[in-house]
Amino acid sequence: MPVKIDQFVRSRRRTIAIQIRPDGTVIVRAPLRATEKQVREFVESKAGWIERKRSEARQHAALPARQFQMGERFLFLGEEYPLILVNGQRPALRFDGQFALSRGALSRARQVFEKWYKAQALRVLSERVGYLSTKHNFRPHPHQLGAYPLGFLQFNGHVELHLAPGDGTPGCDRLCGPARAGAP
């Protein structure tokens, strides 16, 4: 059975790329000069990978939405930590072996957590890019990491870091935990 392509984009690129969105849709990007047969053969050769990634996306989508209640556990760097609710705290969210959220920020807890996770991602990624650039003797592209929405991350064969915008955080599971419907 052929792989279903949800969106097909031709552009002035040199390679064929397959993107699996957090909702499981498949986007194929191909060079203008690639024939339909070449694109189809490439996509079919990656059918196993596509199905695995779609399955992962379905599992992430099936997770329950966050409630931001006392004792609820949140992932950070591969470990789960409990949430406690506190009165009159600034900043609204602190982390010290547990997440402490100000009760005054409960109505915007999702945004507070998202902002915190993005700041941590920027910190961790900046450290990692600095380490890798020294180790492999390359200069990072001058774009600021913080200018991009946090989506998913990949290192390609040329040691380039790509940040791709997305609605969830697949690929960042170790940093942020799996994407959850309606949660950071």
Mean pLDDT of 42-70: 87
Q: What's the whole-model pTM score? A: 0.52
The C-alpha atoms of residue 157 and residue 35 are separated, in whole angstroms, by 25
Q: Assess contact for 34 and 57: CB atoms under 8 A.
A: no
Whether the per-residue pLDDT at 99 is higher than 50: the answer is yes
**Class of residue 183 by CB neighbours under 10 A (exposed 0-12, middle 13-18, buried 19+):** buried
**Class of residue 20 by CB neighbours under 10 A (exposed 0-12, middle 13-18, buried 19+):** buried
Q: Which one is predicted more confidently, 37 or 177?
A: 37
DSSP 3-state percent helix, strand, coil across the chain (nearest 5): 35, 25, 40
**Whole-number pLDDT of residue 147:** 47
Question: Tokens 């079919």 appear where?
Answer: 44
CA geometry: angle at 21 spanning 17 and 23, to 5°? 155
Strands (DSSP E) contained in 16-170 are 17-20, 26-31, 73-76, 79-86, 93-95, 99-102, 152-155, 161-164
| Arithmetic mean of pLDDT over the chain | 78
Among 117-126, 136-145, 166-175, name the one with the lowest average pLDDT.
Answer: 166-175
DSSP-derived secondary structure letter, 103: G
- Residue 91 preceded by cis peptide, ω within 30: yes
Residue 72: name the closest of 104, 101, 108 by CA: 101
pLDDT digits (tens, 9 = 90+) for 77-91: 889 999 999 998 999
Mean pLDDT of 53-61: 82
